[in-house]
Amino acid sequence: MIKFLANNSHVIEKALIIILVTLFSAFFIFAIFNQAPHSNELQVLTLTQLDKTGVTNIVTAVLLNYRAYDTFIEFAVFLVVAIAVLPYIIDTPVLTFTLQEESQVLLIAKIFIPLTIIMAGYLLWIGSTKPGGAFQASALLAGCLVLLSLANVQVINFTQLRYRLLMSSGLIAFIAVILLLYLQSHSFLTFPVELAGASILVIEFFATFAIALILFLCFESINKGHA
């Protein structure tokens, strides 16, 4: 009996896991459907207050005004990731800026990068009215950097002061806005209606670069790890 168990331990383990996961899922589905969802009063509330937020897109309003505090901490999370990953970049030597032979990737990069940068700028700008904003724009910018990196063009030396500054710029801009608004309104993270749109744009502008750089840093840490 014991021998049988020992020989088939993998199968038994898998079977147990499958049984447990199935039971859990069944209970989960039962519990979820047992209870009616809420009546979404919050969305109505979000819409009625929208004209006081300085933006007209509901998602941007939630992210950078109603629950701006969450986004603020989220920027800090990004920076922590950057600090954690950074040492693994420093250890590897940085190639100098060399345009080697015309590879296909470089060709693609030359065509797409200018377009993508314009696209990123557009996404950032329309964030206040339509779906878009800092996160989407920074993903595009990071894509440009990744394309350059694949074409063997090294443009960023992460150890330099200015890149450290740029990576923290999203958070720095956010803190600066918070402190300036504090002087004006004596309350934490309150955007006055007339300044809200501009403040949000400033934060998003810097956050775009910061997040793009951090995303690229994460890519590079894996990329260099393999090389």
Least separation, in Å, of the C-beta of 201 and another protein? 17
**Does residue 37 bind another protein (CB under 8 A)?**
yes
Among 13, 23, 118, 188, binds another protein (CB under 8 A): 188
**Does residue 31 bind another protein (CB under 8 A)?**
yes
* Part of the chain binding another protein (CB under 8 A), chosen from 64-72, 123-131, 150-158, 197-205: 64-72
* Part of the chain binding another protein (CB under 8 A), chosen from 3-11, 66-74, 106-114, 145-153: 66-74
Q: Name the residue with tokens 């989960």.
A: 28
Distances in Å between the alpha carbon of 125 and those of 112, 129, 161, 205, 209? Answer: 20, 9, 28, 9, 14
**Does residue 98 bind another protein (CB under 8 A)?**
no
**Does residue 102 bind another protein (CB under 8 A)?**
no
**What's at 135, amino acid-wise?**
F
φ/ψ (deg, to 5) at 133 = 130, -170
**Does residue 13 bind another protein (CB under 8 A)?**
no
**Does residue 122 bind another protein (CB under 8 A)?**
no
**Does residue 155 bind another protein (CB under 8 A)?**
no
Between 106 and 200, CB nearer to another protein: 200
Among 150, 164, 219, 223, binds another protein (CB under 8 A): 164
Q: Which of 118, 151, 155, 150 has the alpha carbon at shortest distance from 137?
A: 118
**SS3 label, residue 106:** helix
Least separation, in Å, of the C-beta of 101 and another protein? 37
CA–CA gap between residue 32 and residue 11 (Å, rounded): 31
**Does residue 35 bind another protein (CB under 8 A)?**
yes
**Does residue 16 bind another protein (CB under 8 A)?**
no
Can you spell out the DSSP letters for 122-149?
Answer: HHHHHTTTSS--HHHHHHHHHHHHHHHH
Q: Which of 65, 76, 60, 58 has the alpha carbon at shortest distance from 175?
A: 76
Binding site for another protein (CB under 8 A): 27-28, 30-32, 34-42, 45-46, 49, 65-70, 73-74, 76-77, 79-81, 83-84, 86-87, 161, 164-165, 168, 171-172, 175, 178-179, 182, 186-191
